[in-house]
């Protein structure tokens, strides 16, 4: 795939420099300090309305398009105008059906997914072929792993929101989001046989008495799995953008392709940052950059969770952590694990210590819990639910 070396070599994944952006906007168009403050406030909004977006567009930020001076969408250190913009392909014989346009009917949505199948298949094949183990200091080839290797998913009849096609993200209100689980949905190539075992629950037996290093090893498995899924999604959408952006005839649908690229770039940036910090922590046996929040709850057998979680706002001060429609806010993710033992349900969150917003989230939740004696089980369930056991 084009620019894959740049994608792999550049872990910084720089977005637009906000301070530089503010400076340029203020120097060129915004002498009024109040307007500069307004732009800064907009960039931290949980939800951007049309007025917010129009204001940003008027004062130099290409919300609905990529500016030539932006860091490139291939995540290299080059600028978009010099790197990937000239690579955009135009075919006058094609009128490409974009995701948003396809949502008007189930038939069109199936056509959209079918059009992406060749790109997605090629990306997955390239990712799986000769993949290296991503455990620190290991040079072995990866084997096929499963996120839930310790659980017989087929035998236990789980339901899941996960789909075989990771590009298929359509959920219709009023419909059941859960489907019978096919276990290979959670397959991935990220660890060699030795480290597949080393990071498994069968080996680590994670619980309330586990060490931070043991929890870090267990979380590494989840982070690698999610990193691969997010990167595969990104590579697929990148190829779609390069090949078809200019073949979308309506400006509004083009704009949504830009928005979608901005959001997935933010996700790639965050998951790679988590992976990099966790990788170094395990390699150096120094977990000072990692934080854990653990709860030992009463026993239940309803669900298993090993996933990333995007908290939206802190529960007391309502500080924005992540946003549904504001790609100017850098994503901040935590890892959540819900693990069943013989006597209890162990819930463990992991996040980067430098994430002050997530730290604030847990501090405020603890305050609320102490004040009102909140029930932790519904809170955990509502935050992230991957698997729900059928009876």
Give me the number of domains the chain comprises.
Answer: 1
240: in domain: no
Indicate whether 323 belongs to any domain. Answer: yes
What is the spatial distance between Cα 199 and Cα 135, in angstroms, rounded to a whole number? Answer: 9
- Domain holding 298, by residue range, is 290-389
How many Cα atoms are found within 13 Å in the side-chain-facing hemisphere of 212?
A: 14
Helix (H, G, I), strand (E, B) or coil at 290: strand
Q: Name which of 184, 180, 219 is nearest 198 in CA terms.
A: 219
Would 39 be classed as within a structural domain? no
Residue 175 lies in a domain: no
Residue 271 within a domain:
no
What torsion do the CA atoms of 311, 188, 135, 353 make, to the nearest 10 degrees?
Answer: 0
pLDDT tens, N- to C-terminus, the chain (391 residues): 334 433 333 333 334 454 454 444 444 444 455 566 666 777 778 888 888 888 777 777 777 899 999 999 999 999 999 999 999 999 988 889 999 999 999 999 999 999 999 999 999 999 998 899 999 999 999 999 999 999 888 787 788 888 889 999 887 777 777 888 888 999 999 999 999 999 999 999 999 999 999 999 999 999 999 999 999 999 999 999 999 999 998 888 999 999 999 999 999 999 999 999 999 999 999 999 999 999 998 888 777 889 999 999 998 999 999 988 888 889 999 999 999 888 889 999 999 999 999 999 999 988 888 777 667 777 776 765 544 343 2
Q: What are the structure tokens assigned to 265, written together?
A: 């770039």
> What pTM was estimated for this model as a whole?
0.86
């Amino acid at each position: 795939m084009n620019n894959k070396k740049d994608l792999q070599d550049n872990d910084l994944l720089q977005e637009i420099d906000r301070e530089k952006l503010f400076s340029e906007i203020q120097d060129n168009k915004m002498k009024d300090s109040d307007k500069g403050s307004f732009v800064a406030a907009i960039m931290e909004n949980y939800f951007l309305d049309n007025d917010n977006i129009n204001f940003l567009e008027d004062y130099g930020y290409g919300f609905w398009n990529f500016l030539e001076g932006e860091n490139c969408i291939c995540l290299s250190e080059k600028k978009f105008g010099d790197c990937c913009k000239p690579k955009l392909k135009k075919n006058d014989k094609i009128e490409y059906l974009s995701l948003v346009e396809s949502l008007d009917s189930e038939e069109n949505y199936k056509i959209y997914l079918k059009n992406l199948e060749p790109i997605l298949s090629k990306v997955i094949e390239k990712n799986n072929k000769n993949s290296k183990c991503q455990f620190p200091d290991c040079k072995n080839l990866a084997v096929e792993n499963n996120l839930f290797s310790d659980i017989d998913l087929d035998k236990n009849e789980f339901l899941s929101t996960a789909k075989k096609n990771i590009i298929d993200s359509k959920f219709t209100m009023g419909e059941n989001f859960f489907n019978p689980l096919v276990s290979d949905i959670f397959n991935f190539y990220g660890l060699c046989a030795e480290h597949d075992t080393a990071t498994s629950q069968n080996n680590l037996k994670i619980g309330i008495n586990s060490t931070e290093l043991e929890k870090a090893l267990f979380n590494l498995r989840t982070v690698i799995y999610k990193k691969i899924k997010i990167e595969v999604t990104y590579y697929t959408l990148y190829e779609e953008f390069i090949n078809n952006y200019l073949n979308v005839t309506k400006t509004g649908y083009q704009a949504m392709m830009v928005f979608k690229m901005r959001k997935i770039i933010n996700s790639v940036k965050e998951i790679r940052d988590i992976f990099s910090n966790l990788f170094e922590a395990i390699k150096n046996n120094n977990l000072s950059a990692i934080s854990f929040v653990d709860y030992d709850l009463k026993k239940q057998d309803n669900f298993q969770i090993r996933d990333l979680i995007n908290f939206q706002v802190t529960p007391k001060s309502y500080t924005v952590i992540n946003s549904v429609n504001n790609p100017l806010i850098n994503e901040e993710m935590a890892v959540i694990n819900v693990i069943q033992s013989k006597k209890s349900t162990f819930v463990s969150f992991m996040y980067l210590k430098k994430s002050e917003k997530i730290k604030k989230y847990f501090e405020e939740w603890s305050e609320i819990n102490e004040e009102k004696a909140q029930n932790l089980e519904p809170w955990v369930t509502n935050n992230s639910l991957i698997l729900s056991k059928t009876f």
